Amino acid sequence: MINIQKLSFCYSKRKSLYEDLNLESKAGSIIGLLGKNGAGKSTLLKLMAGLLKPQNGKMLIMDHVPFQRKPSYLQDVYFVPEEFSIASTSIKSYLQSMAPLYPNFDHGKMKQVLLDFKLEENQNLGKMSYGQKKKFLIAFALSTNCKLLLLDEPTNGLDIPSKALFRKVMAGALSDDQLVIISTHQVKDVDNLIDRIVLVDDGRIKFNKSIISVTEKYAFHTVSELNEGDFLYSEVAPGGYRVLTSKNGVETPLDIELLFNALTNGINLEIHE
């Protein structure tokens, strides 16, 4: 679905953000696009949404060049930006005017997700809190049934119950022909939701692996004492240390935060998919 090769992009001529970006992705996945503040996650989503034009390289998504912004592409891609402005109108009239732009829009799904998020059709979007607006946009995104959903920091502004609800709603509302890319620096928010991690760092894709391939080879433990040589990466945790080790027969759940910290601290993990 996504084929990016040797892509370069810069906001200013003095410093490029991406110089040789390569990324291939198939449908049927929920990708966590991770990276430190300023790493370029939002920019990458905007490039995919056709809102920014790369300087060089190839970016083909569903056989389209995003920046050409052809209607046949835009009707199958939905981007929820981190910051947005939204019409001051009722949910009902927003749906009447915006849903027809998406041929596969599912009004039944919209009703259900609004219900899950405790939003009502007669509510005025202009009078909602930031978190409520965000939940509305997530509900709208899921209901478009677009093949590519780009969600930039979707859990920002969501309270703790809404974050849990977000994970539940996302997990139940997608089909195998869709690809979802969720950008976040709050890695715990996408725990148990994503099935692949793509990490951007220093203007390139530093890591692009499925969660299964990580847990097949590596394990994540909490230990009270560190034994030199037993671990690949460690950090202090309450009561001891969290350590990333080779698997050695013991399967553990992924500690996404520890993995993120290990990768951004230069630890190389050898994973062949």
Ligand X SMILES: Nc1ncnc2c1ncn2[C@@H]1O[C@H](COP(=O)(O)OP(=O)(O)OP(=O)(O)O)[C@@H](O)[C@H]1O
Q: Which residues bind ligand X (CB under 6 A)?
A: 11, 17, 35, 37-43, 185
Rounded to whole angstroms, the Cα distance separating 241 from 96 reads: 54
User: Rounded to 10 degrees, what is the CA torsion of 55, 35, 176, 144?
Assistant: -70
Rounded to whole angstroms, the Cα distance separating 108 from 118 reads: 15
Smaller CB distance to ligand X: residue 35 or 54? 35
What is the per-residue burial (b if ≥16 Cβ within 10 Å, else e) of 148-184? bbbbbbbbeebeeebbebbbebbeebbeeebbbbbbb
The least CB distance from residue 110 to ligand X, in Å, is 28
The least CB distance from residue 105 to ligand X, in Å, is 28
The least CB distance from residue 188 to ligand X, in Å, is 15
Please state, as a whole number, how many other Cβ atoms lie within 10 Å of the Cβ of residue 18: 24
Smaller CB distance to ligand X: residue 41 or 133? 41
Smaller CB distance to ligand X: residue 24 or 202? 202
Smaller CB distance to ligand X: residue 88 or 186? 186
**Looking at this protein, which amino acid is placed at residue 232?**
L
Burial of 190 (0-12, 13-18, 19+ CB in 10 A): buried
Smaller CB distance to ligand X: residue 16 or 215? 16
| Sign of the dihedral through C-alpha 236, 195, 135, 2 | positive
Which residue has 């259900």 as its token pair?
Answer: 112
The least CB distance from residue 136 to ligand X, in Å, is 21
Smaller CB distance to ligand X: residue 36 or 221? 36
The least CB distance from residue 15 to ligand X, in Å, is 8
How far from 13 is each of 9, 41, 52, CA to CA, in Å?
A: 10, 20, 15
The least CB distance from residue 27 to ligand X, in Å, is 24
Smaller CB distance to ligand X: residue 14 or 272? 14
Vertex 142: Cα angle to 166 and 195 (nearest 5): 60
The least CB distance from residue 204 to ligand X, in Å, is 13
